[in-house]
Amino acid sequence: MSENSLRITVTGTVATVTLTRPQVHNALDELLMGNLAQAFQKLAVAEAVRVIVLEAEGKSFCAGADVNWMRRAADLNREDNQRDAMLLAVMIDSIERCPKPVIAVVQGAALGGGVGLVAACDMVIAAEEASFALTEVRLGLEPSVIGPVCIAAMGARACRRYFLTGERFDAAEAWRLGLVHELASDDADLDEKVGDIVDAMLACGPVAQREAKELIRAVCARPVTSEVIEDTAERIARIRSSPEGREGVGAFLEKRRPAWIAPEPETMPEPEPPPV
């Protein structure tokens, strides 16, 4: 897909989704939000894809809502505004609920809805010079649509500050709050850290990863009741008896690679030296 807003490339089992509006700092408009939602919906069911990387071109990761889109929204009535806001909601949901692991790579500023994009991903690697801000209140708005994923990523206490002040905070603070998982010192370090996490993801069972993501949604912030205990027991029993579960345990016991990991390439023997 390439419509001057988004590019998707697939290399082996890894899909890379790239925001390609650097001239407007990858700001979100109707086209980009629709393309992102569609891209993640398609990649979610693409059997060949194991891991998705979300990145952006240019100096900024995502500057939030596009100015022209906000200008048009200001002229809409309440009902049309709600339909318009659902574009953002569907985009965030398509990323947050994607059954595949999603890694965000943040190389610059992530503002407003851009923080929502980051928070919706499973893992985040940011350059040390990256920055973040939930700027909605400075425009007389609120970060409502992205609120659930931001609160899940940063915690309610941090959101009480940054939702209400709109302050910009750096990558180190984002790491301290849990919004960011890894910090990178330069582009080479960023690429290396992404590669390490992708390799770690590909070493794990794809069905198990999907079920683990669903488990988090199912039990997060719930008290440990008898229903929750029964549900978690049922989940592990189901996956233990699944083909992937049997293969994984069997490979461990037999000290071999499980079927979902590509075999190591065979090394060619060194040629013998020519006779003297």
pLDDT given at position 264:
65
Q: Give the pTM.
A: 0.90
Q: Give the span between the Cα atoms of 237 and 181, in whole angstroms.
A: 31
CA distances from 239 to 46, 200, 248 (A): 21, 20, 10
pLDDT given at position 122:
97
- Token pair of 253, please? 């016991």
Q: Give the span between the Cα atoms of 124 and 139, in whole angstroms.
A: 27
Q: Where are the alpha helices (DSSP H) in the chain?
A: 30-44, 67-74, 78-96, 113-120, 147-154, 156-165, 171-177, 187-202, 206-219, 226-240, 243-253
If DSSP codes are grouped into helix, strand and coil, which group holds residue 225? Answer: coil
Q: Where in the chain is the domain with CATH 3.90.226.10?
A: 6-201
Compute mean pLDDT per 10 residues along the chain, 276 residues long, and list them.
Answer: 78 96 94 95 96 97 87 77 87 96 97 96 97 94 94 96 97 97 96 96 94 92 92 93 94 94 63 56
- Amino acid at site 38: Q
Q: Give the span between the Cα atoms of 225 and 223, in whole angstroms.
A: 6
The CATH class of the 6-201 domain is alpha beta
pLDDT given at position 1:
45
